[in-house]
Amino acid sequence: MPGFEFINDLEKKAILDLFEKNKKKYGTFPLFRPRKYVKKFEEKFANYIGVKYACCVTSGTAAIKVALIAAGVKKGDEVIIQSFTFVAPVEAIIDIGAKPVLVNVDETLNMCPIELEKKITKKTKVIMPVHMLGVAADMDKINKVAKKHKILVIDDNCEALGAKWGNKMLGAQSDMCTWSFDNGKTITTGEGGMITTNNKEFFKLCKEYMDHGHENNPKFPRGRDTHRIPGFNFRPTELTGIIGLVQLKKIGKIIKNNKFYSQFYIKLLKKYKGINLRKIPNKNKPLNDCVIFNFTNEKLAKTFVKKLNENNLVTKNVPDAIEWHYAMYWDHIFKLFGLNKSKLKQKLKKSSYILNRSVSLPIFANEKIGKVKNKIKIIKFILDKMLKNE
Ligand X SMILES: Cc1ncc(COP(=O)(O)O)c(C=O)c1O
Q: Which parts of this chain interact with ligand X (CB under 6 A)?
A: 59-61, 85-86, 88-89, 130, 156, 158-159, 180, 182, 193
Amino acid residing at 327:
A
Please identify, using beta-carbon distances, which residue of 152 and 269 lies nearer to ligand X.
152
Please identify, using beta-carbon distances, which residue of 62 and 152 lies nearer to ligand X.
62
Specify the 3-state DSSP secondary structure of 3: helix
Instruction: Print burial letters for 12-21: b (CB count within 10 Å at least 16), e (below 16).
Output: eebeeebeee
Please identify, using beta-carbon distances, which residue of 30 and 89 lies nearer to ligand X.
89
Closest separation between CB of residue 139 and ligand X, Å? 16
Q: Residue with CB nearest ligand X?
A: 60
* DSSP string of 254-279, one letter each residue: HHHHHHHHHHHHHHHHTT-TTEEEPP
Closest separation between CB of residue 57 and ligand X, Å? 9
Closest separation between CB of residue 390 and ligand X, Å? 34
- C-beta separation of 158 from 180 below 8 A: yes
> Rounded to whole angstroms, how far apart are CA atoms 276 and 294?
5
List beta partners, residue 147. Answer: none
> Rounded to whole angstroms, how far apart are CA atoms 156 and 159?
8
> Rounded to whole angstroms, how far apart are CA atoms 133 and 211?
31
Closest separation between CB of residue 381 and ligand X, Å? 32
Q: How many Cβ atoms are within 10 Å of 280's Cβ, its own excluded?
A: 18
Closest separation between CB of residue 23 and ligand X, Å? 32
Q: Label residue 262 left, alpha or beta by phi (over 0 means left) and psi (-120 to 50 means alpha).
A: alpha
Closest separation between CB of residue 243 and ligand X, Å? 14
Strand pairing class (78-82; 53-57): unpaired
Please identify, using beta-carbon distances, which residue of 85 and 351 lies nearer to ligand X.
85
Please identify, using beta-carbon distances, which residue of 130 and 275 lies nearer to ligand X.
130
Specify the 3-state DSSP secondary structure of 130: strand
Closest separation between CB of residue 63 and ligand X, Å? 7
> If DSSP states are collapsed to H, E and C, what string results for 131-182?
CHHHCCCCHHHHHHHHHHHCCEEEEECCCCCCCEECCEECCCCCCEEEEECE
Closest separation between CB of residue 187 and ligand X, Å? 12
Please identify, using beta-carbon distances, which residue of 87 and 268 lies nearer to ligand X.
87
| Residues belonging to the chain | 390
Please identify, using beta-carbon distances, which residue of 60 and 241 lies nearer to ligand X.
60
> Rounded to whole angstroms, how far apart are CA atoms 284 and 10?
32
Please identify, using beta-carbon distances, which residue of 49 and 383 lies nearer to ligand X.
49
For 241, list phi and psi in degrees, rounded to 5.
-60, -45
CA dihedral 280, 46, 223, 220 (to 10 degrees): -140
Please identify, using beta-carbon distances, which residue of 65 and 375 lies nearer to ligand X.
65
Please identify, using beta-carbon distances, which residue of 60 and 286 lies nearer to ligand X.
60
Q: Label residue 163 left, alpha or beta by phi (over 0 means left) and psi (-120 to 50 means alpha).
A: beta
Closest separation between CB of residue 157 and ligand X, Å? 8
Closest separation between CB of residue 364 and ligand X, Å? 18
Note every long-range contact of 72-76, with CB atoms under 8 Å and residues 24 or more positions apart, other chains counting: 72/125, 73/98, 73/125, 73/126, 74/98, 74/125, 76/123
